Chain A
Amino acid sequence: MPGVVRGTGLTMDIEIDLVVDGTTHSLSVDTRTTLLDALRERLQVISPKKGCDHGQCGTCTVLLDGRRHLTCLALAVAHDGAEVVTAAGLGSDGLHPVQRSFLTHDGYQCGYCTPGQVCSAVGMLDEVAQGHPSHVTEDLTAEVDLDDAEIRERMSGNLCRCGAYPGILAAVREAARG
């Protein structure tokens, strides 16, 4: 039978490596284990939160191999060798500037969506730097002008039930201006 056989019919456990916030972990996961559960339940990395487990809220967002990515809809086994940066690992020396802006503008209340919002904002600003357009970009061929409508649209994959959106917007706006 062709193919790289990663599991066996009897045990569902597979060894994978993940680099999480700069630390390499070798861990055993079930083929069914999501990246989110691998982080939270196997590695006790609690920064990415589980809000819906179905890709509908954004609380589990991390930077996965450099891009913002949900971890609830990713199987850990498919991301063997991946590099994960969570909100806990963003700042090289204390808090990341985006995180400081969230504090300044009270861009959170309960805090549960916050790590995902922060990672999403960092990843989003990188996408803007690379010139990615969005749904609200008027001219698809022009350089992106990151106005408030652009920030809101690009952050819309991260729900906040406390309704801290105005504070998050102000925080991201400030962080974008450096």
Chain B
Amino acid sequence: MTEQRTRGIAPRSIGTSLDRVDGPEKVTGLAAYAVEHGADEGVSAPLSVWLVTSTIAKGRVSRVDPSRALAHPGVTAVLDHTNAPRLEQTDNGELAILQDDRVGFRGQVVALVLAETSEAAREGAALVEVSYEPEPHEAELREDNATYKPDKVNPAMETDTDEGDVDAALASAPVLVEQTYRTPYEHNNPLEPHATVAWWAEHEGREVLSMFDSTQGVHGVVQALAPMLGLEPDQVRVRAPYVGGGFGSKGEAHAHVMATVLAAQTTGGRPVRLAVTRQQMFSLTGYRTATISHMRLGAGADGRLTAIEHAVQEQTSVVREFAEQTASPTRMLYAAPHRRTSHRLARLDVAVPSWMRAPGEMPGMFAHEVAMDELAVACGLDPIVLRERNEPDLDPETGKPFNDRRLVECLRRGAERFGWADRPPEPRARLDGDWWIGTGVASATYPAMKQPGNTARVTSLEGGRYEVAIGSVDIGTGARTVLTQIAADALDVAPTDVELAIADSLLPSASVAGGSSGTSSWGSAIVAAAQLFRADHGAVPAPGLHTTASAADDPASEAYAFHSFGAVFAEARVNRWTGEVRVPRLHGVYSVGRVINPRTARSQLVGGLVMGLSAALFEESHRDPRFGHVVTQDLATYHVASHADVLDVDAEWLEESDEAFTPMGSRGIGEIGIVGTAAAVANATFHATGTRVRSLPLTADHFLE
């Protein structure tokens, strides 16, 4: 494998709306997701596994009595901490299940039931009797208990920043906005529940573990599991040909993956399958922490910011630390000489938080962009003018120039498209029948990221065709399609001449489909391999030649701060009788580098906007601190947006190409659609009603008169 400096590629297929290459399989349902693989793929007569989860939040398991479960017809085994296979490493408290009797949160895996059918497994799980020695627990995030300062926040950022003299600047600021904003617990809720199939076999004298897993990264699962199991990475094979959404929650292996693997260790090679129930997903597969943001903005009467303070309180779990980087966008978005951010956590006896679409930016930008709206009102300024006045010349966080900061263009283009000029400056100015009408805007930003550890392989086939292989995963983003386009343009062939192989850890290494980094990371590796292949083997290679390469870092790019930007515009209607909120229009304009496939890109951006709308209006996981678990643990009580809630939602983007970032000119689009969206909707509801709501979701009860 070689590190190859990439050159920009001429877009031919890139920029066209190539049909999704996996469309027909998806619309017929023949695409096989994790637990849908059959005997032809090695999954012969699988046993079903069902999880038994703790009903206390903290303490010890004193006894697991499997006798009634084992007596149930079809149940073949019950595993608990006394008889489950041992792990080599147990430092990952989330994955090291059934290794001891400790209970760290309610809903933790305390036993597994294996059975011939899923019906028997479910009933078996209900029949396992678990006794506990409970201990007092703490499961509520409050301002008075979120005091722990972590060493870093995700992924590896400073916990606190402090520049200038914030207190003095705030004390002397002619205009001050000082408010607290709250976002609730949110669950990713991909429609395919997390699911894994695993089986063990012997190959040439070595144990081999094979898995189908619903994951955002097959190599990541290998890297997490292999050392814990005492295996070399090449003893574990993970495949994920189709993944029914993830939104971050499948970005890392969670406890159910280990549960499946441990269960499979006990069956003498027979495959086992486990699909987490929707209810269990609320405890076991990650979620976004609730956040409390204390914002202080100091400004001149002209709206120019002199000081920005964003003090975050949020929560992690005792079992495993996860510190959401909620204030991170505040560090770079607007100019101000005095700036301070901080993160303090409550370490709670609760399920392990994890990644959820735009971790950090989503809750943090809700706070910051509603605060900006309040500042605009306080200064009597149009919210767009306010943002224009606070454009920084350099990245306030690093002092580097932005490679391509086009926030103001996004705001102006969006304003034009949305008809912003017609907006009455005063709130509560328009009533149409029973509905108050208002409009709101918010900025969006998301860092452009590339992950290390990506390698691609190009192999020449008969007839001028090429296999392009990388172990990336398409979780619905369109990766399978856009990587085909990137490979085609990098090789200067038609997309139909590319056979793309992905979603298998036997293929060259790929980073996670997350952080809006997938296409940039994998695509750069593909371009590197393609360009090196051409250099080594020419334009008309014999079949069977191959080249494997990674993209070398470009030292020149170190000089820049790379971010994407956007502007979100929302119209809100609030019913004067019932308080119900509708969003008839939600438009985003984005600067995201070159768009590789307008069709799939639009769906990514619109999908982000819809998820942001859903968070704005509906989403809230209610954790009952008495018990420690989320009690709104299904899709009837945890509301996500339905068809009827999504009216005119659309996205467009500025024509541009960022070849300093990737040879494709692209920057990544998976998260930015959700960033700022809830703030835009909240600002629109304020403009409609005059009622300022500083917590999500914006439910009807806030607007009752």
Residues in chain A within 8 A of chain B (CB atoms):
11-12, 30, 32-33, 37, 40-41, 44, 46-54, 56-57, 59, 86-88, 90-91, 95, 99, 102-103, 106, 108-115, 118, 136, 149, 151-153, 155-156, 158-169
Cβ contacts under 8 Å, B604 to chain A: 109
Q: Is A46 a contact partner of B30 (Cβ separation < 8 A)?
A: yes
Pick from A50, A158, A161: contact of B190, CB under 8 Å: A161
Tell me, yes or no, whether B641 is within 8 Å of chain A by CB.
yes
Q: Return the 4 tightest CB-CB contacts between A and B, nearest first.
A: A163-B610, A110-B476, A112-B244, A47-B29
From B31-39, B50-58, B106-114, give the one contacting chain A: B31-39
Cβ contacts under 8 Å, B191 to chain A: 49, 51, 57, 59, 110, 112-113, 159-162
**Given known contacts A53-B278, A56-B635, A168-B643, A88 and B649 CB-to-CB distance under 8 angstroms:** no
Task: For the complex formed, measure the closest distance between the CB of A145 and the CB atoms of chain B, giving whole angstroms.
Answer: 17
Residues in chain B within 8 A of chain A (CB atoms):
19-20, 22-33, 36, 38, 73, 117-120, 123, 189-193, 242-245, 247, 275, 277-278, 475-478, 599-600, 602-604, 606-611, 614, 634-636, 640-644, 646-647, 649-650
Which chain A residue lies CB-closest to B605? A163
Task: For the complex formed, measure the closest distance between the CB of A84 and the CB atoms of chain B, giving whole angstroms.
Answer: 12
Which chain A residue lies CB-closest to B24? A95
Which chain B residue lies CB-closest to A101? B27
Q: How far is the CA of A59 from the CA of B245 in the complex (A)?
A: 13
Q: Is B603 a contact partner of A109 (Cβ separation < 8 A)?
A: yes
Cβ contacts under 8 Å, B32 to chain A: 46
**Given known contacts A46-B32, A54-B636, A87 and B245 CB-to-CB distance under 8 angstroms:** no
Pick from B30, B36, B192: contact of A88, CB under 8 Å: B30
Task: For the complex formed, measure the closest distance between the CB of A49 and the CB atoms of chain B, giving whole angstroms.
Answer: 7
Task: For the complex formed, measure the closest distance between the CB of A35 and the CB atoms of chain B, giving whole angstroms.
Answer: 13
**Given known contacts A158-B643, A160-B191, A109 and B245 CB-to-CB distance under 8 angstroms:** yes
Q: How far is the CA of A153 from the CA of B642 in the complex (A)?
A: 9
Q: How far is the CA of A91 from the CA of B417 in the complex (A)?
A: 40
Q: Is A111 a contact partner of B118 (Cβ separation < 8 A)?
A: no
Cβ contacts under 8 Å, A33 to chain B: 117, 119
Task: For the complex formed, measure the closest distance between the CB of B548 and the CB atoms of chain A, giving whole angstroms.
Answer: 29
Q: How far is the CA of A41 from the CA of B33 in the complex (A)?
A: 13
**Given known contacts A159-B642, A163-B606, A52 and B117 CB-to-CB distance under 8 angstroms:** no
Which residue of B23, B27, B193 has the most chain A CB atoms within 10 A of its CB atom?
B27
Q: Is A87 a contact partner of B643 (Cβ separation < 8 A)?
A: no
Task: For the complex formed, measure the closest distance between the CB of B130 and the CB atoms of chain A, giving whole angstroms.
Answer: 23
- Other A-B contacts than A88-B30, A106-B603, 19 sampled, CB-CB below 8 A, are A11-B73, A37-B118, A47-B29, A49-B29, A87-B27, A95-B24, A99-B24, A109-B245, A109-B476, A109-B603, A111-B26, A112-B190, A115-B29, A156-B643, A156-B644, A160-B191, A161-B189, A162-B607, A163-B608
Which residue of A90, A159, A163 has the most chain B CB atoms within 10 A of its CB atom?
A163
Pick from A88, A110, A168: contact of B244, CB under 8 Å: A110
Which chain A residue lies CB-closest to B612? A163
Q: Is B610 a contact partner of A52 (Cβ separation < 8 A)?
A: no
Cβ contacts under 8 Å, A156 to chain B: 642-644
Q: Is A41 a contact partner of B244 (Cβ separation < 8 A)?
A: no
Q: Is A162 a contact partner of B28 (Cβ separation < 8 A)?
A: no
Q: Is A95 a contact partner of B192 (Cβ separation < 8 A)?
A: no
Q: How far is the CA of A167 from the CA of B607 in the complex (A)?
A: 10
Task: For the complex formed, measure the closest distance between the CB of B173 and the CB atoms of chain A, giving whole angstroms.
Answer: 39
Which residue of B32, B599, B642 has the most chain A CB atoms within 10 A of its CB atom?
B642
Cβ contacts under 8 Å, A152 to chain B: 643-644, 646-647
Q: Is A163 a contact partner of B29 (Cβ separation < 8 A)?
A: no
Cβ contacts under 8 Å, A160 to chain B: 191, 643
Q: Is A51 a contact partner of B28 (Cβ separation < 8 A)?
A: no
Q: How far is the CA of A87 from the CA of B23 in the complex (A)?
A: 13
Which chain B residue lies CB-closest to A160? B191
Which chain A residue lies CB-closest to B26? A111
Q: Is A32 a contact partner of B189 (Cβ separation < 8 A)?
A: no
**Given known contacts A49-B29, A86-B29, A166-B646, A109 and B478 CB-to-CB distance under 8 angstroms:** yes
A–B complex contacts, Cβ < 8 Å, 5 sampled: A47-B28, A56-B636, A111-B22, A156-B642, A161-B245
Q: Is B28 a contact partner of A87 (Cβ separation < 8 A)?
A: yes
Cβ contacts under 8 Å, A164 to chain B: 603, 606-607
Q: How far is the CA of A37 from the CA of B476 in the complex (A)?
A: 25
Which residue of A11, A12, A118, A166 has the most chain B CB atoms within 10 A of its CB atom?
A166
Cβ contacts under 8 Å, B190 to chain A: 110, 112, 161
Which chain B residue lies CB-closest to A102? B27
Cβ contacts under 8 Å, B120 to chain A: 30
Q: Is A111 a contact partner of B646 (Cβ separation < 8 A)?
A: no
Q: How far is the CA of A109 from the CA of B474 in the complex (A)?
A: 9
Cβ contacts under 8 Å, B38 to chain A: 44
Pick from A46, A95, A162: contact of B603, CB under 8 Å: A162
**Given known contacts A40-B36, A169-B643, A106 and B635 CB-to-CB distance under 8 angstroms:** no
Q: Is B635 a contact partner of A57 (Cβ separation < 8 A)?
A: yes
Q: Is B119 a contact partner of A54 (Cβ separation < 8 A)?
A: no
Task: For the complex formed, measure the closest distance between the CB of B161 and the CB atoms of chain A, giving whole angstroms.
Answer: 33
Pick from A44, A53, A165: contact of B277, CB under 8 Å: A53
Which chain B residue lies CB-closest to A59? B191
Q: Is B27 a contact partner of A166 (Cβ separation < 8 A)?
A: no
Cβ contacts under 8 Å, B26 to chain A: 108, 111, 114
Q: How far is the CA of A57 from the CA of B641 in the complex (A)?
A: 11
Pick from A37, A103, A162: contact of B245, CB under 8 Å: A162
Q: How far is the CA of A30 from the CA of B20 in the complex (A)?
A: 39
Q: Is B193 a contact partner of A51 (Cβ separation < 8 A)?
A: yes
Q: Is B20 a contact partner of A87 (Cβ separation < 8 A)?
A: no
Q: Is B275 a contact partner of A103 (Cβ separation < 8 A)?
A: no
Which chain A residue lies CB-closest to B17? A106
Task: For the complex formed, measure the closest distance between the CB of A58 and the CB atoms of chain B, giving whole angstroms.
Answer: 9
Q: How far is the CA of A102 from the CA of B1 in the complex (A)?
A: 41
Q: How far is the CA of A49 from the CA of B29 in the complex (A)?
A: 8
